């Protein structure tokens, strides 16, 4: 391809501006031209096809894949974002897309149930202030732990409340007790019972699915013995609201069910708007189980995960 002198200048200006990130005044100084000339050279580079700009918008729906998810699993809405090169990037973009979907589905006076974890924290950080009134945000499961590993549950609910002008209804308990009898006694406390009832009454909920691996957050929070961890890794594919499910989306390990402080899986399924935000290779099995069992009415995921779930 033969390049004219203006092509060469345009390429030089474009590289300085886009690759090195120099402002146009500095580009002008480097090339010995005026700043308006730099603007024209950059535009020339675009016009010649030397520069292309690609925008990765987490709000963009991969329509065909989203439609397949809705048809296969009876979803009211699915939003599929572009898969990301790193796990941190993926969680951030899922959070942004999840925040947008939630903002579209919360109205004045709603009782909104939330969980916690990296994905929900990313959603919370992406929420924008709304003009909603009379919203309450309630935790659907306990969050206190015996370890120094943070679940960000206080920060998550604070950010949700700031976005929706909402009042927080927190659940200051561990999500899993050592003893089922102690848990039942604690749940009879008037304040705790009130929060649990609100969680059950919430008709809008946003949650993720947890993956099962030795590095899973729940397995690192000090709730389980080594034997219990091994049993979970053998029988469970993941969790919803810290309630463990098998590959059919059914509860497994009844003993843990009795010790868990969270809304039941049946209650999750009964809610009107059930927004699940989850993506990444480790989430494929639990997400597929959760969708097949009907726990979600709305879904935010990435394209790679969506295609794996559909296959």
For residue 153, CA distances in Å to 89, 159, 240, 258 come to 21, 10, 16, 22
Same domain, 252 and 208: yes
User: Rounded CA gap, 142 and 140, in Å?
Assistant: 7
Q: What's the CATH code of the domain at 18?
A: 1.10.10.10
Same domain, 283 and 134: yes
Share of the chain above pLDDT 70, in %: 94
Contact 147, 222 (CB under 8 A): yes
Same domain, 172 and 202: yes
Any domain includes 55: no
* Residue range(s) defining the domain that contains residue 266: 63-310
Same domain, 9 and 138: no
Q: What pLDDT is recorded for position 61?
A: 52
Any domain includes 235: yes
Q: Do strands 209-211 and 238-240 pair parallel, antiparallel, or not at all (unpaired)?
A: antiparallel
Task: Kindly report, residue by residue over 138-160, the tens digit of the pLDDT.
Answer: 999 997 665 545 567 889 999 99
DSSP character at residue 251: B
Same domain, 113 and 190: yes
Any domain includes 57: no
Contact 143, 176 (CB under 8 A): no
**Both structure tokens of 168:** 């927080």
Burial 75-88 (b: 16+ CB within 10 A, else e): bebbbbbebbeeee
Task: Kindly report, residue by residue over 238-251, the tens digit of the pLDDT.
Answer: 999 999 999 999 99
Bridge partners, residue 275, by sequence: 206, 298
Any domain includes 126: yes
Share of the chain above pLDDT 90, in %: 73
Tokens 């779930």 identify what position? 309
Same domain, 88 and 191: yes
Same domain, 238 and 104: yes
**Both structure tokens of 289:** 């189980």
Question: Does residue 9 surpass a pLDDT of 60?
Answer: yes
Q: What is the mean pLDDT of the chain?
A: 91
Tokens 């065909």 identify what position? 64
Helices within 111-248 (DSSP H only): 118-126, 153-164, 180-187, 190-201, 226-235
Same domain, 81 and 129: yes
Q: What pLDDT is recorded for position 213?
A: 84
Same domain, 211 and 271: yes
Same domain, 86 and 230: yes
Q: Which positions ≥6 away from 153 have C-beta within 8 Å?
A: 116, 139, 143
Q: What pLDDT is recorded for position 310?
A: 96
Contact 309, 291 (CB under 8 A): yes
Task: Kindly report, residue by residue over 84-99, the tens digit of the pLDDT.
Answer: 889 999 999 999 999 9
Q: What's the CATH code of the domain at 291?
A: 3.40.50.1360
Same domain, 294 and 182: yes
Q: What pLDDT is recorded for position 19?
A: 86
Any domain includes 58: no
Percentages of the chain per state (helix, strand, coil), in multiples of 5: 50, 15, 35
Any domain includes 95: yes
Q: What pLDDT is recorded for position 148?
A: 45
- Give how many domains the chain has, as a whole number: 2
Any domain includes 54: no
User: Rounded CA gap, 183 and 49, in Å?
Assistant: 65
Task: Kindly report, residue by residue over 37-84, the tens digit of the pLDDT.
Answer: 999 999 999 999 999 877 666 545 568 899 999 999 999 999 999 888
User: Rounded CA gap, 93 and 302, in Å?
Assistant: 9
Any domain includes 187: yes
User: Rounded CA gap, 167 and 137, in Å?
Assistant: 6
Task: Kindly report, residue by residue over 167-179, the tens digit of the pLDDT.
Answer: 999 998 988 998 9
Read off the pTM: 0.78
**Both structure tokens of 142:** 């306990």
- Helix orientation angle between 5-14 and 35-47, rounded to the nearest 10 degrees: 100
Contact 277, 95 (CB under 8 A): yes
Bridge partners, residue 211, by sequence: 238
Same domain, 144 and 256: yes
Q: What pLDDT is recorded for position 299?
A: 98
More confident residue, 206 or 254: 206
Question: Does residue 303 surpass a pLDDT of 80?
Answer: yes
């Amino acid at each position: 391809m033969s390049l004219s002198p203006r092509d060469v200048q345009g390429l030089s200006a474009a590289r300085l501006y886009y690759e090195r990130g120099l402002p146009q005044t500095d580009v002008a100084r480097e090339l010995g031209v005026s700043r308006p000339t730099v603007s024209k050279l950059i535009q020339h580079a675009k016009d010649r096809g030397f520069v292309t700009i690609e925008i990765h918008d987490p709000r963009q729906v991969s329509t065909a894949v989203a439609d397949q998810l809705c048809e296969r699993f009876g979803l009211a809405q699915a939003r599929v974002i572009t898969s990301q090169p790193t796990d941190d990037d993926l969680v951030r973009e899922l959070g942004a897309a999840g925040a947008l979907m939630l903002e579209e589905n919360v109205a004045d006076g709603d009782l909104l149930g939330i969980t916690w974890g990296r994905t929900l924290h990313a959603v919370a950080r992406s929420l924008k202030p709304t003009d909603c009134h009379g919203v309450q945000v309630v935790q659907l499961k306990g969050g206190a732990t015996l370890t120094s590993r943070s679940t960000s549950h206080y920060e998550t609910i604070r950010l949700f409340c700031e976005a929706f002008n909402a009042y927080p209804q927190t659940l200051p308990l561990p999500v899993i007790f050592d003893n089922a009898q102690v848990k039942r006694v604690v749940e009879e406390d008037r304040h705790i019972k009130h929060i649990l009832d609100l969680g059950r009454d919430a008709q809008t909920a946003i949650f993720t699915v947890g993956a099962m691996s030795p590095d899973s957050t729940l397995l690192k929070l000090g709730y389980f013995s080594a034997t219990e961890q091994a049993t979970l890794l053998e029988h469970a594919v993941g969790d919803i609201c810290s309630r463990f499910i098998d590959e059919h989306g059914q509860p497994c390990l009844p003993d843990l069910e009795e010790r868990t402080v969270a809304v039941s899986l049946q209650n999750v399924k009964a809610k009107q708007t059930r927004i699940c935000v989850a993506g990444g290779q480790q989430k494929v099995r639990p997400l597929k189980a959760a969708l097949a069992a009907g726990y979600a009415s709305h879904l935010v995921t990435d394209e790679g995960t969506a295609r794996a779930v559909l296959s």
